Amino acid sequence: MPAQRSTTRIRLHPLGDAALLVELGTRLDTAVNTRAIALAAALKKRRDVRQALAGCASVTVHFDPEQTTHGALGSAIKRLATRRPPMDEPGRLHRIPVVYDGPDLDAVASALGLPAGRIVELHTQAIYRVFVVGFVPGWAYLGPVPEVLKLPRRSVPRTQVPAGSVAIAGQMTGIYPLPTPGGWHLIGRTSVRVFLPDSDPPCLLRAGDRVKFFAADR
Amino acid sequence: MDALRVEAAGMLATVQDLGRPNAVAAGVPPGGAMDRFAHSAANLLAGNDVRAATLECTLTGPRLVAERSCLVAITGADLDPRVNGQPAPMWAGIFLSVGDRLTLATRRSGARAYVAVAGGVVADRWLGSQATYLLAARGGMRGRALVAGDTIAAAATPGSPAVAGRELPRHLRPDYDDRVLHAVAGPHIDRLGRDGRHALFSSAFTVSHQADRMGYRLDGPALDTSGEELLSFGLTAGVVQLPAGGKPILLMADHQTVGGYPVIATVVRASLPIAAQLAPGDELRFAEVSIEEALRMRRAQESALDSLRN
């Protein structure tokens, strides 16, 4: 009985006096992420909910405490979450050109004991899922990256990473949308802009979308 | 219609409102006024809706000259406000005549003062809000802080004399010198262990110099968490996250929308105005509070604002 099993895995935590963190799982998993996105969409339709944001395997719900309580909303969330998860409809596929000349490419190659060319092959092989958009505007957490590319973050983060940098860390890869500090390994760069401040929504990639990188000369 | 001219900008003055809560799915922080209570009170005292934009003036205030007669209200931090050199009342509607000079100087208490103008400040709107978001250079005054020479427009309503002189009674104003932040235990508090939890709620912390509208890094007792890495999840203002290294970060209005550090506590909404009025070097404490008590504190603030509504 999968529905029941999934209920027991749901954990609810208050996030202050007007928000809840709903944990649906602890692993990076497309099915769990699909459920999170669907649950956030269902919750947004409720009158007592102000905002719901899906994480990798969770939903953060902001609600109106004059209309409901942590307990009442929590029960409703458990009921909603036991609904049969929706089919994972493949999101939009973005093909993104990358010049693989990042300042960390050689260090990544030597840390993994692979030639740089192999890093590029591996990085361009998979179709990545956008698990979450967030942290900074337009940043998309893409994954999972092939197991052999897994590396912890840099021990010393850079104070400034140029926009368009393509990076990896842990199970994830991503594109820096804005010049920001960052601790990921920079393996390449793209001319595709992922933060689109004059569009609404102001981002190219959305949760549930898919991304395929390909190597480009410039 | 131009209402105020910026003669000197002060340290950091930006246009803010109640933010853009619905842009988080794109990774855009909710933003808006750090001290929502002071922002809302300033608007109500100036005869505006709470959603109107105000000026948020940080630590050292601007010098503003009235381009036309207008009603203004100053709330939040006490930056020694003066009109033509004479001390001006705070938490009250005051009239400026053409050429009057409103000066906010240096901090006597709090960190952020709010200036509302009757009609509401009119500035760039981005994703449904006029709030300035400096990182993306959008919203407010062309996405940036005010600079000398800017003119601040306000919707053209004749400042109604009936509204001037109204004030928020002293006992309804926040006590910004009482630096206790009421907080609910966070989803990952168990990772702190019993001693860590005790330290969190019984020790003094100091706002470090890494403190801005995104959040404050806090100095204090060493805190350590155990456990495996977390997957990224949605965050909210007031969250106290604990990165490796043990220095907690209190997230504020322009906070990152998602993160993966353990959340050990969440400052409740009623305490965010107090948090907003802290500056580097200030000491604070966390006090654990029940959700019921947190909601009661919030309702008290709402009814204080209601007393300013007609």
Left, alpha or beta for B284 (phi > 0: left; psi -120 to 50: alpha)? beta
Chain A interface includes B291 (CB < 8 A): yes
Concatenate the DSSP letters of all residues of A134-183 into one string. -SSTT-EEEEPPPGGG--PPPSS-EEEE-TTEEEEETTEEEE--SSEEE-
Show residues of chain A in contact with B259, CB under 8 Å.
135
Q: Is the pLDDT of residue A1 over 90?
A: no
CA–CA distance, A162 with A139 (Å, rounded to integer): 13
Q: Which of A55, A134, A180 sits opposite B231 (nearest CB)?
A: A55
Return the pLDDT at B162.
52
Tell me the mean pLDDT in the region B68-82. 96
Res. B151: pLDDT tops 50: yes
Q: What is the pLDDT of residue B227?
A: 79
Q: Give the number of other Cβ atoms within 10 Å of residue B221's Cβ.
A: 14
Q: Is the pLDDT assigned to residue A218 strictly greater than 80?
A: no
Give the tens place of pLDDT for each residue, B185-227.
999 999 999 999 999 999 999 999 999 999 999 999 989 888 7
Residue A7: predicted pLDDT? 46
pLDDT greater than 80 at residue A89: no
Q: Which amino acid is at B65?
A: V
What value does the mean pLDDT of chain B take?
A: 95
For the cut 90, the answer to whether the pLDDT of residue A165 exceeds it is: yes
What percent of chain B lies above the pLDDT cut of 90? Answer: 91
Look at residue B70 and tell me whether its pLDDT is greater than 70. Answer: yes
10 Å CB burial of residue B80 (0-12, 13-18, 19+) is middle
Q: Collect all residues with Cβ–Cβ distance below 8 Å to B3 and sequence separation of at least 6.
A: B66, B67, B68, B70, B117, B119, B152, B153, B154
Q: How far apart are CA A54 and CA A18, in angstroms?
A: 17
Report how far residue A15's alpha carbon sits from residue B5's, in angstroms, rounded to the nearest whole number: 42
pLDDT tops 80 at residue B240: yes
ipTM at complex level: 0.95
Which uninterrupted H or E stretch holds A40?
helix A30-44
In terms of DSSP bridges, do strands B101-103 and A172-175 run parallel, antiparallel, or are they unpaired? unpaired
- Chain centre to alpha carbon of residue B267: 14
Read off the pLDDT of each residue in A143-159 and give the average, rounded to a whole number. 91
ω before A201 within 30° of 0 (cis)? yes
CA distance B234 to chain A (A): 5
Chain A residue nearest residue B270, CA to CA: A17
Question: Which of A11, A15, A17, A51 should one mutate to test binding to chain B, selecting the residue with the greatest count of B CBs within 10 A?
Answer: A17
What is the token pair recorded at B241? 């996250």
The residue that leads in pLDDT, A217 or A213, is: A213
Residue B234 has its nearest CB partner, among A53, A65, A197, at A53
Name the pLDDT band for B160 (thresholds 50, 70, 90).
low
Most distant pair of Cα atoms in chain B: their distance: 62
Between CA B94 and CA B222 the distance in angstroms is 47
| Residue of chain B nearest A178, judged by CA positions | B136
User: Token pair for residue B249?
Assistant: 């970060």
Rounded to whole angstroms, the Cα distance separating B4 from B65 reads 5
- Which candidate, B229, B90, B238, places its Cα nearest to that of B170? B90
Sign of the torsion formed by the C-alpha atoms of A34, A36, A39 and A40: negative
Please enumerate in sequence order all residues whose Cβ is within 8 A of that of B189, keeping only pairs 6 or more positions apart, or say none: B197, B200, B264, B265
pLDDT tens-place string over residues B21-58: 999 999 999 999 999 999 999 999 999 999 999 999 99
Question: Mean pLDDT across the stretch A118-126?
Answer: 97
Instruction: Report the distance separating Cα A90 and Cα B27, nearest Å.
Output: 22
Q: Which of B195, B291, B212, B297 is nearest to B251 (CA)?
A: B212
Contact A62 B236 (CB under 8 A): yes
Taking the C-alpha atoms of residue B228 and residue B252, their distance in angstroms, rounded to an integer, is 26
